[in-house]
Structure 1
Amino acid sequence: MIRFLQSFDFRKSRYARPNQTWVCGREAEGAPCRLGPDSRGRCRAAGECMPRRDGDAWCCTRPQSAGGPCVEGPRPDGTCCRQIPRCQPVRSVRAKRGLAARWAAAVAVGVMALALYGSDAADWLSPGGLTAHHAEIGDCATCHEDFDGSPADWVRAAFNGVPDAHQGDSRQCLTCHEMGDNAFDPHGADEQRLAQSTEAQQASLAANVRPIGLNLAGRALREPDELGEGTACASCHSEHQGADASLTEMSDGQCQSCHTLKFASLSSGHPPFQSYPYDRRTGINFDHVRHIRKHFPETDGAEAPEQCVDCHATDSAGALMQTASFEETCAACHTADVRGTNAAGSPGIPAITVPGLDVMSLREADAAIGAWPELSDQPLTPFMQVLLANGRVEQEHMARFRQLDPLDLRDAEPADIEAVEAVAWGVKELVYDLISDGPAALQPSISAALGREVASDTAARMLAGLPLETVRGAQAEWFPDLAREVAMHRAGKEVAIPAGEFAAVSEDDGGSDTEGEAAEDAGQADILSGDDDSGGDLSGGGEESGGGDILSGAEEEAGGDLLGGSGDSGDDILGGDGGSGDDILGGDADSGGDILGGGEEDAGGDLLGGDSGGGILSGEEEGDTGGDLLGGDAGGSEDEAKVEVALPAPDPERWSRLGGWYRDYFALRYRPRGHADPFLATWLDVTGAAQGPAADAVFEGLAVDGGPGKCVKCHSVDETKGGTLAVNWTQPRSSSGEHNFTRFAHDPHITSVATEDGCATCHAFAPEADYQASFDDRSAATFASNFQPIGEDTCTSCHVESKAGNACTQCHDYHVGEAMRVEADTRLDDMTMSAKEE
C-alpha cells in the first residue's frame, strides 16, 4: 500500500509546496492563506478569494477546502469581503534544515582549519595509538609521505585511493626495515621462487575442493598475478590499534584470499609435506645410522653417547637443535685422525720445499743456479707455487716447469733450462726474503697468486707462526752460501753450480735442529754439515781448519779426523783432540793412540777414553795405569764409574707429533695441532674462495679424503653460485633476520614427545638411504637424508583447532629472506663534524 505524504483531493487538502523557502506565518495555526509569501519572504495576503465577474455580478471563488463560497459574496467593486490580515512569513522546515546544515558545515570547516593548521594537528587527525614497536615515532610524516603537504593535499590524497606500494606510504617503511630487493612482491620473494613454490603444489591440489568462502574472497580480491604494482605493507600490518595490538597477526582468510591454491585447514586440504624438513645435505658428514649401529657398539661405553641430548641441545632461541663442540662429541675417537698420529706416512704438510733437480744435467748445460742439494727429491708443492708468485717466478716459466720432470733433464731444451733456473732462483729468493723480512715477505706473493688482497691477520694464520730458527736451520742445510749467491744474482752475475756437489745434510740426519746446527758461511758445502772449513766434513766439520774431517772434523789444524779429530796434525779415527798420535775413538792430547777415547795428557792408550792410564773403556784420572771397562777412574772404583753418551738424534715426525712446524730433509712441514687448526682452515677458506690453477691445486691437495687433518672427512664442501668452494665449518645458526616460508621451534615440542619414541617420534632413521653418496659431489641440493621425512599426520595429531591450533601463521612466515632493521649511522666522520658544530 502506497502512503502519500499529503492528500491531493482539492476538496480535502490544499496543495502544499514543501520546496518553498518561506511559508505563511499562520501555518502554525493551521490556517495559512492560499497565496502564501513570495520567494523573498514577503506576505502577499489580501482576501480569502479573488472574486470572479460573471456578467454584471461578482461571484465568490473561495475553494471548498477553505469552506466554499461565502454567504456575503464579493463587494460591489469586486473585492473580497473577507480580507485576511497580513502575517509575518516564516521559513519552511526544509529551509531551516538547509540553513542548519550550512552553518554546521561552516563551523566544521572552521574547526578543521583551526585543527589542521594548529600545533596539535597530528593529535586531531590520529585515528588511534601506535603499537609499542612504533611508539617512538612522533611525526606522522615519518610514515605518511602526504603529511608533509598542505591540508588540501591531504584531502586530495584521501580521495585518490590506495597508491602504488612503490610510491605510497609503504616506501616509508623501508627507511627502518630492510626487506631486500623484492620488498613489495608477495612474500618479499622473487617471481621465480614463487612460481616454483606454486608449481610444486599444483599437482597435489588439482582435484582439491576449495571452500566456497575462500573462492568468493579470491574473486573479490585481486589474485597475486594481478598485483603488478606490489603489495602495500598496510595490507597485512594495521597500525593505530593501540600499544598492545599485534602488527603481524593475520587471519587464515587474509592469507588464503590471495593464494592461487586454497584449502580449508592443515588437516583438510593442506598440501602434502615434501621431504620436510630436509632441503639440503648436512654440513657435517655424520652418518647417524652407521655410528649408532656399528661404531658406537665397538667403542668404550664411556665414550659413546647414550641418547640424543648427549650431542644435541637447542640454541639460545630455542629453535634449532645444535650439535655440541668437537671436544665434547668427537675428540675421544678422532683426535688422532686430525693430528695424523695413526696415519701411514708423514702427516706433515710439505709447505716450503727444495724441489729436486737433475743437478748433473744442469751442470752439463752450464745452468747458473749456484749450489743446489743433489739429494733432494721433493716436488714443487702447490704451496710453493703460491709462494713463488708476485714476480719471483714468471707465469710462463712456472707453467713450463710444471710440464717437466725436474729430476730428469737430460733431454731438456734451452727454454726448459731457463724455466728451471727461474724456479731455482725463486726458491732461493723466497728463503732469503723469509729470513731477512720474516713471514710478512710472503704476503704479497699469496695475494698475487690468489688474485685478491689477503689481509695481514689472514696471512699470519696461513703461515701459523713459522719459527725463525727452523728457517735458518733449513737455510744452513739447504743453501749454506745463500747470502753470497743471492747478492751475486741480484748484481746480474752468473753463479755456476760448484763441481762435485752433494746434498747438504745436518748432523742429525736432516731432522729437526734439536741437536747441533749446520755450518755457517762455509766456502764449500760439507758432505754432512761441515762448518767453516774449506775441506769437506762428513758430519759436523770443524770451524777453521783447512783439512777435511769425515765425521765431526777438527777445529784448528789441517789434519783430518774420521769422526771428530780436533786440533792435531795427526789423524784421529773418532775424535782425536790434541795429540800427534792416532786415536781410534777420541784420543785427546797424547802422542799415544787411544782405542775409544784416549786420555788427555798421557802416552797410554785407553779403549774408550782412559785418561792417564790405559783404561779399556773410558778410564779417567791422571797418573793411573789401571784401566776401567766403562768409565773407571784412577783407582778403578766401580762406584765412580761414568759413561759418556750423546743426546739422541730426534725423529722429526715423532718430535712434532703434537703439531707445528718442523724440518724434514729438504722440506719445512706443518703438522696440524688439533681440531680447527688455523693453518688448514685458512688455506682451505682462502684458496676455495679464489680461482686459478695455484689456488685450485692447494685446495684440492688439502680437501682430499684422508688429507692432512682430514678436514673434509667430516666438513662437506659446497660449490657456491659464483663457482667458488666453501667448507662448512660450522653448523647452521638461527638468525632473527632470516626467514623461510616455514618455521619450527624445538623447545615447545620437546616435552610433547616425552614418550617411548622420544625424538624418533619425528626423526625416524632411514637405514636404506645412501647417505654417504650425498658427499660424492659438491652440490648440497643432491642428497639422501639419514632420516625419513616428517609427514602431515605427525603434525595434525596435535595441531587441530581444538588442541594446539592450526592457524597459518603458527608455522608460516609471510616475509622470506633477510628482514632486519637498518643499522644506525655510526660513522666517525659524521660524529666528528657534529662535535665541531657544537
Structure 2
Amino acid sequence: MTIGAGLFTVAVLLVWLMSPNSLTMVSPGTLSAAHLAIEPPPGVPNCQVCHKGAESGFGRWLSMIASQTETHSVEVNQQCLGCHFSETDQAIAMKVHSAAELSEISPAVEELSMLAGPTSFLLGLSDQVHGEPMLDQTQGTCSTCHNEHEGAAHDMKVMSDIQCQVCHTNQFESFNDGHPAFTSATSISSGIKFDHAKHQPRFDDGLDCQSCHQADAEGKTMLVSPFENSCQGCHEQRSKDHHGDAIKKNPVPFLQLPEMEFEDPVYWPAELAVGENLTPMMTLLLAGDDEALPLLSEIYDGDGAAGDMFEWFFILEDEGEPEKKAQLATAIKKLVSELADYSSSGEKARTVRLSKAFSLEATDPELQTLQAELSAANFVMQMFKQRYLPQLEDDLAGEEVDATDDEELTTDWMASKHMSGWRVDSDEGAISYRAVAHSDSWLKTWIETLGKSQGKTAQMTSMDEMRAGLRALMLDELSGDFKSCTKCHTVQGEAAPWSAAGRLYDASGFTKFNHRPHMAMLNEPGNCLTCHIPKNESSDASIAMPRGFLPHDKETCSSCHAPGKANNTCLNCHQYHHERP
C-alpha cells in the first residue's frame, strides 16, 4: 500500500505539473511593484511574459533547467530589454557598464584602482573559494543584479557594496575604509574651455559662482547660464573688448582670384587678380570639382609645391604643362558662377559640390545648412562676378570674350558696410567674412561641416583619399581663422558642442551627485568653494585640474558620509549603466 500510494502521488503530481495551471503553483513569489502591472489575474498563468520557456509548459521549463544552458537567461534578457532599452541601446545593454567597448572605461578605472585600500574580507574569501570572476564584456544577465519575485515592496535597484565589487579587479572594504582618493584622472569636456583660476584674478571680489551657474529644476545639477547672462558682460563683441576686437581685426578669407599668366588667351582679370595662393575655404570648395581635384593635389603635394602657387607655376614650366594654369582658371570661374547662381539649378550644383568636397551625403543636415549659408551670400558673389568677371557666363558657354571689354560692363561697387559681415576688397580681388555677433552661423556651420567630414574612411576611392588629405590640410590652415570660436569652444571629431553642459557622466566611475541637499547645508556665501577649490600658484602642476579646480577632497565627503551618518554605499554616488534604462 505504501509503495502504491507513493506511485499514485507521483503520478498525480506529474499530471498536475503538466497541466496548464501548474506554473501558477510553482511561482517563486510575488513580483515587485514595478512589474505588478504585468502580473496576470489569479489562476491565470502568464509567466511567459518574461520566461519564454513557459510558453510550452512546465515540461520544457524543467528540461531547460536540467540542460544547464544559458538559453533561459538570454531569453529573459531579451524580454527585459524590450521595455528598458531603446533598440539602438540594446546592442550594448549587456556589455560591462553598458559601454560600447570595455576600453572606454578600463584606463581610468585601472588608474584609480591602484589607489584602492584594503580588500573586504568577504570578497577575498569569495575569490579564494570560487576564483576571481572572468570579466567578459560580451555577456551579462539582468538577473545578476536585479532579482525578482521577492515581493511588491522589493526594490530591484538595491545592491550591496559587496555585489558591486564582485567583478572589480581591485576591491576595498568600504567608502570610508579603502576607497581611492578622488582624482581628476579623466577630464570631461563640457563644450566650453573655461579655466576658473585664470578668470579669478580679473575680478576684484573674485568669481561669483551663481553669476554663471544655476541649479536645474530638481536641484541636482548645476547648469551653466547662456552667453548673454554669463559672458557677454565682458565679451561684448565690440572694439573695446579683446575678444570682439580680435574677431573684428581678423576676417576669415573666403575667396581671392590668384595672379596667373597664360600662354594662350584666357578670360581672366589679369590686372585685378593678385592673390598669391588659394584660400582654404576656396580650396575646399574647389575640391568638390572632379576636374579641379588633381590640380589641387599637385598644388598641395608635400614633395612638390606644398601649397605655394608660384612654386607650382615653376614646376609646370619645368614639366612643360603650362596649360594646367588655364584649367585651374576654368575651375575657379565655374566655382564663382555656381556661388553667384541664385536659381534652383545653382542650389543643386552647390549641393553636389559640397557633397563631394566633404564626403557627406547630399541630405546631411550640416551640409544642407552650409549650402543655405552659401545661398544667402549669393548677392555678394553676384557683385563679385559683375566686378571681376562680367562676361563669365558667356565665357563658360564657349563664346569668345575679351577681358579688355570688362571695364565698360562693370557696375558701381557695393560698400562693405551694407553687406553684414562680408567684406570685399575691390583692389585685391578678395572676399572675406567677419563674424558680426556671438554664435555666428557662417563660421559655426563651416566648423560643424568640417568636423563631421573628418575620419570618413569607409570604402574610400583614390579621389576620396585626395579630398580627405586636402580637408586635413585646410582644417589645419583654418585653425587660426576659427580661433575666435575654438578659443572657448571645443570641437571633438564629428561633434561641436556649442552650449556649455552641466555635470556629465564620468566614464571613470559613472558618478551621480545631487547638489540640493548639500547646498542646503552650506547656505553661506562662497559655499561652493567648500568642495570646488580653485588651483593656485602653489598647486601641484602634475595633477590634472580641469576647469582650474583641484581634485575634490574625499575627506570632505567622508566627514558626513560614514557609518551611522549619511548614506555611504556605492549606489549613493555611482550608477552601473552609462545611461539609466
Q: TM-score range with shorter-chain normalisation?
A: 0.7 to 0.9
SS in 1 for 2:214: strand
2:249 equivalent to 1:370? no
- C-alpha separation in 2, matches of 1:230 and 1:434: 54
Describe the SS at the equivalent of 1:458. helix
CA distance in 1, matches of 2:286, 2:226: 38
Deviation at 1:261, TM superposition (A): 3.7
Change (3 A) 1:228 1:309: closer
CA distance in 1 between partners of 2:244 and 2:532 (Å): 36
| 1:284 and 2:184 matched | no
Residue type matched to 2:451 in 1? Answer: G
- Cα deviation for residue 804 of structure 1 reads 1.0
How many angstroms apart in 1 are the aligned matches of 2:507 and 2:124?
Answer: 32
Residue type at the aligned position of 1:791:
D
Q: What's the CA shift string for 1:382-411, capped at 9, x where partnerless?
A: 221222234364322223455354599689
Q: 2:224 aligns with which of 315, 319, 323?
A: 323
**Taking structure 1 as reference, are residues 258 and 726 closer, same or farther at Cα in structure 2, changes over 3 Å only?**
closer
Amino acid at match of 1:423: L
Distance (whole Å) between structure 1 residues aligned to residue 501 and residue 571 of structure 2: 23
State the Cα distance separating 1:460 from its structure 2 match. 4.9
2:439 matches 1:671: no
**Pair 1:748 & 2:517 matched:** yes
The correspondence for 1:424, drawn from 329, 343, 346, is: 329
Q: Which residue of 2 aligns with 1:635?
A: none
Q: Distance in 2 between matches of 1:268 and 1:411?
A: 72
Q: What is the letter of the counterpart of residue 694 of structure 1?
A: L
Q: Which amino acid aligns with 1:485?
A: D
Q: Distance in 1 between matches of 2:123 and 2:217?
A: 39
Gaps of 5+ in 2: 40-45, 455-467
* Aligned AA (2:475): F
Displacement of 1:476 after TM fit? 1.6
* Contact 1:357 1:407 survives alignment (8 Å): no
Counterpart residue identity of residue 397, structure 1: L
Q: Residues 433, 269 of structure 1: CA spacing in aligned structure 2 closer, same or farther, 3 A cutoff?
A: closer
Q: For 1:410 and 1:184, how far apart are their aligned partners in 2?
A: 62
The Cα shift of 1:690 comes to 2.2
1:447 aligns with 2:355: yes
Counterpart residue identity of residue 335, structure 2:
L
CA contact under 8 A between 1:341 and 1:347: conserved in structure 2? Answer: no
Letter matched to residue 149 of structure 1: S
Q: Is the 8 A contact 1:447 1:453 kept in 2?
A: yes
Q: CA offset at residue 809 of structure 1? A: 1.4
In structure 1, distance between residues paired with 2:98 and 2:365: 38
Find the aligned partners of 1:151 and 1:415 in 2 and give their Cα distance.
Answer: 87
Q: Tell me the distance in 2 between the aligned counterparts of 1:247 and 1:374.
A: 79
1:794 equivalent in structure 2: 556
Cα offset, 1:789, TM superposition: 0.6
How far residue 305 of structure 1 moved from its aligned partner, in angstroms, is: 8.4
Match of 1:246? 155
Q: 2:464 maps to what in 1? A: none
Structure 1 CA distance for aligned equivalents of residues 553 and 180 of structure 2: 11
Within 5 A, what are the aligned runs for 1:388-467? 388-391=286-289, 393-401=291-299, 403=305, 404-406=308-310, 413=317, 415=320, 417-436=322-341, 437=343, 438-455=346-363, 458-463=366-371, 464=373, 465-467=375-377
> How far apart are the structure 2 equivalents of 1:740 and 1:449?
41
Retained in 2: the 8 A contact 1:386–1:445? no
What is the alpha-carbon distance in structure 2 between the residues aligned to residue 717 and residue 227 of structure 1? 33
Check the 8 A contact 2:340/2:379 in 1, yes or no: no
CA distance in 2, matches of 1:344, 1:154: 71
Residues 481/395 of structure 1: CA separation in 2 closer, same or farther (3 Å cut): same
Alignment of 1:247-326 (within 5 A): 247-257=156-166, 259-275=168-184, 279-280=187-188, 283-294=191-202, 296-297=203-204, 307-316=208-217, 318-326=219-227
Shift of 1:291: 1.4
State whether structure 2 residue 230 is matched by structure 1 residue 349.
no
Q: Answer yes or no: is the 8 Å Cα contact 1:742–1:813 preserved in 2.
A: yes
Give the distance between the partners of 2:532 and 2:494, measured in 1 at CA. 30
The one-letter code of the counterpart of 1:336 is Q
**Matched residue, 2:533:** 764
> 1:327/1:475 Cα in 2 relative to 1: closer, same or farther (>3 Å)?
same
- Alignment partner of 1:711 out of 473, 482, 485: 485
Give the residue type in structure 2 aligned to 1:729. Answer: W
Q: 2: CA distance between counterparts of 1:228 and 1:460?
A: 39
CA apart distance, 1:293: 0.6
Shift of 1:164: 6.7
CA distance in 2, matches of 1:710, 1:759: 31
1:674 to partner: Cα distance: 1.7
Are the aligned partners of 1:439 and 1:466 in contact in 2 as well (CA < 8 Å)? no
The CA distance in 2 between the partners of 1:782 and 1:754, in whole Å, is 29
> Which residue of 397, 407, 411 corresponds with 1:487?
397
Bigger mean CA deviation after superposition, 409-418 or 444-453: 409-418
Q: Verify: 1:661 aligned to 2:570, yes or no.
A: no
CA distance in 2, matches of 1:221, 1:159: 22
Q: What code does the residue aligned with 2:453 have?
A: A
SS where residue 548 of structure 2 aligns?
coil
Q: Which residue of 379, 383, 393 maps to 1:473? A: 383
Report Cα offsets for 1:676-701 as digits up to 9, x if no partner: 22211111121123242432344334
Partner of residue 143, structure 1: 50
The Cα offsets for residues 624-647 of structure 1, whole Å up to 9 and x where unpaired, read as xxxxxxxxxxxxxxxxxxxxxxxx
Deviation at 1:171, TM superposition (A): 4.4
1:699 lines up with 2:475 in the alignment? yes
Q: Which has the larger radius of gyration?
A: 1
Aligned to 1:663, what secondary structure does the other structure show?
A: strand
Residues 412 and 716 (structure 1 numbering): CA distance in 2 closer, same or farther, change over 3 Å?
same
Would the aligned equivalents of 1:443 and 1:456 in 2 still touch at CA under 8 Å? no
Counterpart for residue 461 of structure 2: none
Would you tell me which structure has more helix in proportion to its own residues? 2
- Distance between the aligned counterparts of 1:370 and 1:322, measured in 2? 58
For the residue of structure 2 that corresponds to 1:135, the secondary structure is helix
2:463 alignment partner in structure 1: none
CA drift of 1:787 comes to: 0.8
**CA separation of 1:739/1:419 partners in 2, compared to 1, >3 Å: closer, same or farther?**
same
**Aligned residue among 266, 281, 305 for 1:383:** 281
Deviations 1:33-65 (A, max 9, x none): xxxxxxxxxxxxxxxxxxxxxxxxxxxxxxxxx
Q: How many residues in Structure 1 have an aligned counterpart in Structure 2?
A: 541
Contact 2:53/2:72, CA 8 A, preserved across alignment: no
CA distance in structure 1 between the partners assigned to 2:354 and 2:545 by the alignment: 35
**Structure 2 length-normalised TM:** 0.79
- Quick one: which amino acid aligns to residue 474 of structure 1? F
Distance 1:419 1:293, change over 3 A: same
Q: How does 1:131-210 map to 2 (within 5 A)?
A: 131-137=32-38, 139-160=46-67, 163=70, 167=74, 169-178=76-85, 183-184=93-94, 187-188=97-98, 192=103, 196=107, 199-200=110-111, 203-205=114-116, 208=118, 210=119
2:406 counterpart of 1:525: yes
Name the CA distance, whole Å, in 2 between partners of 1:401 and 1:695. Answer: 14
Change (3 A) 1:180 1:98: same
Distance 1:108 1:136 in 2: 31
User: Contact 1:281–1:782 (CA<8 Å) still a contact in 2?
Assistant: no
TM-score for the superposition, normalised by structure 1: 0.57
Give distance in 2, aligned partners of 1:458 and 1:226: 40
Distance 2:538 2:494 in 1: 26
Secondary structure in 2 aligned to 1:225? coil
Could you say what secondary structure the match of 1:271 adopts?
A: coil
Conservation of the 8 A alpha-carbon contact between 1:284 and 1:715? yes
